[in-house]
Amino acid sequence: MNITIDTKLKTTLPDLLLGGFIVDVKVNEPQPELLTLLDDEVNKLEQIHTPETIREMATVKANKNAYRALGKDPNRYRPAAEALLRRVANGKGLYHINNVVDILNLISVKTGFSICGYNYDAIEGDVTMGIGEEKEPYQGIGRGDVNIEKLPVFRDDKGAFGNPTSDSTRTMVTENTQKFLFLIIGFEGKELINKALDEAVDLLQQFAEGKEAERFFVE
C-alpha cells in the first residue's frame, strides 16, 4: 500500500505531515489493567483542561486552522481529538470500544493529535489524502451520512473511508481486525509525532499483542 497526499491539499496545507504505522493486533474487550490506565489518565486531564485550554493546545489549534483553510467550520465539524478532550473536560470520560480503539483515543487525548485508525484489510488499493467533495458518499460510525465536503479525507479504490472528524463504518476496527493502520495528522514536524507513535506501539504491544510491521511518514 502506498499513501500519498493530494497536491491540492498539500498546497493548501503546506505543513501537513502524516506519520503512522501498520501493526498486527488482537482486538478484544479492554483488560482491567488498560481500563485503569485509561481512567487514571482521564482523571488527570479532567483536572487540567477546560474548553479554553483545549483550544490553545498547539496540536488542536493546528487542526482547527487546517479546517478553516479548507473552508470547513471546525466548531461544527470538530476534529476528533478536540471532541474527545472536551468530553473528558466535561467529566464524561472516554468511550470504551475495544482495546485497540481505546489506546488510539488515549494517545489522542494525551497529545491533542487527530489520530485515525483503520482495519487495514478493509482498505482496497493505495491511499490518497485529499479534500472531501460535495455530496461525496460517506457513512460515519454512529453518525450515518456525514457531509465530508471540504474535510481532509482518506480515499482508496472504493472511495472515501476516513477523516479526522469521523471514521467510517467500512474500515472500522472490530474483533475481526487483525492488521491495524494507525495515522497521525500533524503540522509540527516528525519529532512529536514519532514520540506519540512510540507510546502507541508500546501500549499495543502490552494490551493487544501488537507487532509493528512498518512505520512511515508522508510529506
Q: Tell me, what CATH number does 158's domain have? A: 3.50.40.10
Residue 133 DSSP one-character state: P
Cα–Cα distance measured from residue 14 to residue 79, given in angstroms and rounded to the nearest whole number: 19
Cα separation, 165 vs 80, whole angstroms: 5
Q: What is the end-to-end Cα distance of the chain in Å, rounded?
A: 16
Q: What are the Cα distances from residue 191, in Å, to 54, 69, 156, 196?
A: 21, 24, 28, 9
d(CA 82, CA 61): 9
Question: Rounded to whole angstroms, how far apart are CA atoms 145 and 137?
Answer: 7
Q: What pLDDT does 143 receive?
A: 85
Q: Characterize the bridge pairing of strands 114-119 and 179-186.
A: antiparallel
In the block, which residue shows the cell 487542526? 63
Structural domain span for residue 78: 3-218
∠ at Cα 3 (205, 146), nearest 5°?
A: 90
Total domains present in the chain: 1
Cα–Cα distance measured from residue 127 to residue 77, given in angstroms and rounded to the nearest whole number: 23
Q: One digit per residue, pLDDT tens: the chain, 219 residues?
A: 899 999 999 999 999 999 999 999 999 999 999 999 999 999 999 999 999 999 999 999 999 999 999 999 999 999 999 999 999 999 999 989 999 999 999 999 999 999 999 999 999 999 999 999 999 999 999 888 999 999 999 999 999 999 999 999 999 999 999 999 999 999 988 999 999 999 999 999 999 999 988 899 999
Specify the pTM.
Answer: 0.94
Helix/strand/coil percentages in the chain, nearest 5: 40, 25, 35
Query: What is the distance between the alpha carbons of residues 177 and 100, in angstroms, rounded to a whole number?
Result: 10
Q: Do residues 213 and 22 lie in contact, with contact meaning Cβ atoms separated by under 8 Å?
A: yes
